């Protein structure tokens, strides 16, 4: 049976990799809808190649331009616009699977809609769990959706857990999770040089090709902190049983420790097409286009404890998970604002963690019971983060 998909975030790195895997298996997959933010040049090319029934963008003017471009090449894809269009694409009755790869809070409403609609969700959007963990997981249970992780670390854990893992780690004999991290581009940079880091340097990841925001998150190790929060919700594992391990080669993508002393790991070349293909075909296996791992070429694997003085964002994420309720949403919103301000040159690299810490200190955690609660917590934190950025610029 042909699997029908909506791809939320089709022009980003995950979306492009997803379409590359699909391109290799046209007999198995049919793209029904493509959704993007602003890259309509790439979206237009994707529509021409994959001929989806729908394409959606948030901006009305960009939607109008996309319609004109598709008309000139006789592409019949219907173009929709606005946040509500993304939600509609996630709920399409003919769609089996939704790739949730929109970065940031904008991806939360359609991903939540996909959960309530009972879709198979290939989750690459961290914010669904970081911002709205209790709300999102409740929607997954209510809609009887199937959740398959796409982040290489969580996908590795998923593959290394027992096939019948139900969320009771004690019953399954699981002692804990080891999330691997490359350490980013500044793992060995002298601490006194970090204030001089430029956006270009922060975006130059040594192993992975990613967007600018997530590249900065990798440089601060906030990405790993967000993944700790994700892992907690995905696998029902408490924070004290989730450890971050710096592994510069990015060959071991994560590990599961068992009470009998066994440690199971998933290894592979650092290419997101591997976890995407694993989730797309689960429980089968298909060619992803990624070459086999050459252990002789790797030769050696190294591991280090993370330095929380070098990477304060990692500690802030653990603290947010400990505080619970809206604290992770506050952390995420403050980080998004701080990273954007850094990329625009308004604050320095080391100021990112300072912005987040001050916002968390000033906003107490509150309960999350609905999407409105999540979005309200996000909005409050963003406003506070903007004020903190102004304070930093006035010093």
56 contacts 78 by C-beta, under 8 angstroms: no
Q: In this structure, are 241 and 142 located in the same domain?
A: no
- Give the range of the structural domain holding residue 296, as residue numbers without chain letter: 152-269+290-310
359: pLDDT strictly greater than 80? yes
- Give, in degrees to the nearest 5, the angle at Cα 102 between 41 and 124: 125
Closest CA to 10 of 132, 130, 107: 107
How far does the chain reach from its first CA to its final CA, in angstroms? 62
102 vs 302: CA distance, rounded Å? 33
Say which residue, 104 or 268, is predicted with more confidence: 268
Q: In this structure, are 175 and 295 located in the same domain?
A: yes
What pLDDT is recorded for position 213? 85
Q: In this structure, are 14 and 143 located in the same domain?
A: yes
138-151 in b/e form (b: 16+ CB < 10 A) is bbbeebebebbbbb
Q: In this structure, are 157 and 305 located in the same domain?
A: yes
For residue 284, give the H/E element and its range: none
pLDDT one-digit tens code per residue, 102-152: 987 789 999 999 999 999 999 998 889 999 999 999 999 999 999 999 999
Q: In this structure, are 26 and 170 located in the same domain?
A: no
For range 334-348, the mean pLDDT: 96
Q: In this structure, are 334 and 381 located in the same domain?
A: yes
56 vs 62: CA distance, rounded Å? 10
Q: In this structure, are 137 and 162 located in the same domain?
A: no
Q: In this structure, are 301 and 381 located in the same domain?
A: no
Residue 346 lies in a domain: yes
Q: In this structure, are 50 and 191 located in the same domain?
A: no
3-state secondary structure of 131: coil
Q: In this structure, are 89 and 168 located in the same domain?
A: no
Residue 275 lies in a domain: no
pLDDT one-digit tens code per residue, 15-25: 999 999 999 99
What pLDDT is recorded for position 364? 95
What pLDDT is recorded for position 134? 94
Residue 277 lies in a domain: no
345 vs 348: CA distance, rounded Å? 7
What pLDDT is recorded for position 186? 93
263: pLDDT strictly greater than 70? yes
- Count CB neighbours of 326 within 10 A: 25
For range 340-359, the mean pLDDT: 97
> In this structure, what CATH number is given to the domain that contains residue 383?
1.10.1740.10
Boundary residue ending a domain (102, 122, 149): 149
Boundary residue ending a domain (119, 149, 179): 149
Q: In this structure, are 295 and 378 located in the same domain?
A: no
Tally helices (H) and strands (E) across the chain.
17, 11
Residue 329 lies in a domain: yes
Task: Give the range among 8-17, 32-41, 92-101, 212-221 with minimum mean pLDDT.
Answer: 212-221
pLDDT one-digit tens code per residue, 205-262: 766 666 788 889 999 999 999 999 999 999 999 999 999 999 999 899 999 999 999 9
Q: In this structure, are 66 and 105 located in the same domain?
A: yes
Residue 219 lies in a domain: yes
Tell me the CB-side half-sphere exposure of residue 188, using CA atoms within 13 A.
3
Per-residue confidence band for 195, with pLDDT thresholds at 50, 70 and 90: very high
Across-strand partners of 244?
179
Q: Domain total for the chain?
A: 3
Per-residue confidence band for 395, with pLDDT thresholds at 50, 70 and 90: confident
């Amino acid at each position: 049976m042909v699997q029908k998909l909506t791809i939320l975030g089709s022009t980003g790195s995950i979306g492009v990799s997803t379409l590359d895997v699909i391109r290799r298996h046209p007999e198995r997959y049919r793209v029904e809808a493509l959704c993007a933010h602003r890259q309509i040049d790439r979206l237009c090319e994707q529509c021409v190649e994959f001929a989806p029934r729908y394409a959606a963008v948030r901006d009305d003017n960009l939607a109008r331009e996309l319609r004109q471009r598709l008309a000139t090449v006789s592409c019949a894809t219907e173009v929709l616009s606005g946040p509500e269009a993304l939600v509609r694409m996630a709920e399409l009755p003919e769609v089996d699977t939704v790739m949730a790869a929109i970065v940031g809070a904008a991806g939360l409403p359609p991903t939540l809609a996909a959960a309530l609609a009972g879709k198979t969700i290939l989750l690459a959007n961290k914010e669904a769990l970081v911002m709205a963990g209790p709300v999102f997981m409740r929607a997954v249970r209510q809609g009887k959706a199937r959740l398959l992780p796409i982040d290489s670390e969580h996908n590795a854990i998923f593959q290394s857990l027992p096939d019948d893992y139900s969320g009771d780690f004690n019953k399954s004999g699981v002692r804990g999770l080891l999330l691997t991290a490359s350490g980013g581009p500044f793992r060995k940079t002298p601490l006194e040089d970090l204030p001089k880091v430029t956006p270009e340097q922060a975006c130059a990841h040594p192993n992975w090709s990613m967007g600018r925001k997530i590249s900065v998150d990798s440089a601060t190790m906030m990405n790993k902190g967000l993944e700790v929060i994700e892992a907690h919700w995905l696998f029902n594992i408490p924070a004290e049983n989730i450890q971050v391990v710096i592994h510069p080669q990015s060959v071991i993508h994560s590990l599961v420790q068992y009470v009998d002393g066994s440690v199971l790991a998933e290894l592979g070349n650092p290419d997101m097409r591997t976890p995407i293909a694993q989730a797309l075909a689960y429980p089968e296996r298909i060619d992803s286009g990624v070459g086999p791992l050459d252990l002789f070429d790797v030769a050696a694997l190294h591991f280090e404890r993370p330095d929380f003085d070098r990477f304060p964002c990692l500690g802030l994420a653990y603290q947010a998970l400990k505080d619970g309720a809206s604290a992770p949403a506050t952390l995420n919103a403050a980080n998004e604002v701080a990273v954007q301000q850094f990329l625009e040159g308004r604050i320095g690299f080391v100021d990112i963690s300072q912005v987040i810490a001050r916002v968390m200190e000033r906003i107490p955690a509150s309960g999350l019971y609905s999407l409105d609660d999540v979005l309200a917590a996000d909005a409050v934190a963003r406003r506070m983060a903007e004020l903190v950025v102004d304070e930093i610029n006035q010093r």
